[in-house]
A and B are shown apart, each in its own frame.
Chain A
């Protein structure tokens, strides 16, 4: 399943400095939730300091998740079932300025 991942607010620094990732999630019986995606990203994309991205099987508080321009809090957060061609953004609020 092809989806797009975007990073903002400095999160890309943990992912090899790349802000946009076009990824292809492996096909499987079970659907993919964002919770599953977070673990997949940790294993396959994350380059450093996982504790700055993940906490308790969700994103670290202070990182906003936006699915197709909608706050994931409206979509069930980590339980949201990912659809083909979704664009999922991770934006840190933890920056100065």
Chain B
């Protein structure tokens, strides 16, 4: 067995993907924590005497994030008030285990925990939405609502920062996806370590440069308890393909992860290219490429008893709204796959939905 690259005399227990160093357990903990500290201080992520909500799902990334932030906050006296923020989608049975894990985090790390439900944030639970819309299209709601839930929650709690557990593999994957989709607006935003969703509460990613392998190894050797959901095993569209491609490349050469992030960071969109302009939703203020964001369109549909409003492309929805009953032959595809942990991912939901039939049926009141 090789000995630790740090020359501490102990046996190595893992090979670091980022540097190929082989480290013992103690030197690995130190290297991992120091790197997160370095990321935080170099990017000046936090100012002292502020409140940071940690987006907590009970999964590996948010569990490691909560553990390391608590440790660094004490070790380096960041003077941050840390709290856990969890979202309950209101799907019977689904969140029970992961919320139990988050409650365990709360007790282990002595942080307060706020669980906000879709009911708190949107006035509807996913169960109620499924009852309205049926199983086939709930992916759309789930994905769109999920993406905004943490922002809305942070806003509701009036915290100063929202910290998420996005790791290096996640970010490299998002860069790839935005390239595959040609989504230049998101491509230039997705590598930022600090982003603003329109409400003035910065979203920060302290684990941005941490490899997924190291996060899992860190949790394993620190014996942190986390929850793994099954849904990621469901192969879904781009997210799934981009993930598989990335993991295959990483196996050949782990530095591709950092290279892709670096490419994303330094890529500049030419000034002459046509960029979809991102503005803020006129209803809720969330960053959006449309006047009214997707969540607000979906909510409007639910609240007006037209739940299928907003499934499909927004331009088409607008037209449908205006022209009301004009028959057109467009089709929309569930966009739930945009969220890597979409709860209702499944092959059914990927089938194209004929929007003209669905919407027209709903509009005939």
Residues on A facing B (Cβ under 8 Å): 8-10, 13, 49, 52, 60-62, 64, 66, 69-71, 73-75, 89, 91-97
Contacts and interface: CB of A to CB of B under 8 A. Distances in A.
B62 A97 contact: yes
B349 interface: no
Nearest to A94: B232
22 contacts: A9-B60, A10-B228, A61-B247, A61-B248, A62-B243, A70-B14, A71-B14, A73-B15, A74-B1, A74-B12, A74-B13, A74-B15, A74-B22, A89-B220, A92-B228, A93-B169, A94-B243, A94-B247, A95-B60, A97-B58, A97-B61, A97-B227
Given A74-B12, A96-B231, A61 B251 contact: yes
B76 interface: no
A4 B228 CA distance: 21
CB-CB nearest 3 A-B residue pairs: A97-B59, A96-B341, A61-B247
A7 to B, nearest CB: 10
A95 B340 CA distance: 9
Interface of B: 1-2, 11-15, 22, 57-63, 165, 169, 212-213, 215-217, 220-221, 226-233, 243-244, 247-248, 250-251, 340-341
A94 B2 CA distance: 28
Contact of A97 (B15, B57, B244): B57
Contacts of A64: 213, 216-217
B150 to A, nearest CB: 13
B133 to A, nearest CB: 23
A61 B246 CA distance: 9
B229 A95 contact: yes
A55 B58 CA distance: 29
A95 B165 CA distance: 12
B14 A73 contact: yes
A96 B15 contact: no
Contacts of A62: 212, 243, 247
A38 B217 CA distance: 21
Contacts of B244: 61
A93 B232 contact: no
B62 to A, nearest CB: 6
A75 B1 CA distance: 7
Contacts of A8: 220, 228
A95 B234 CA distance: 11
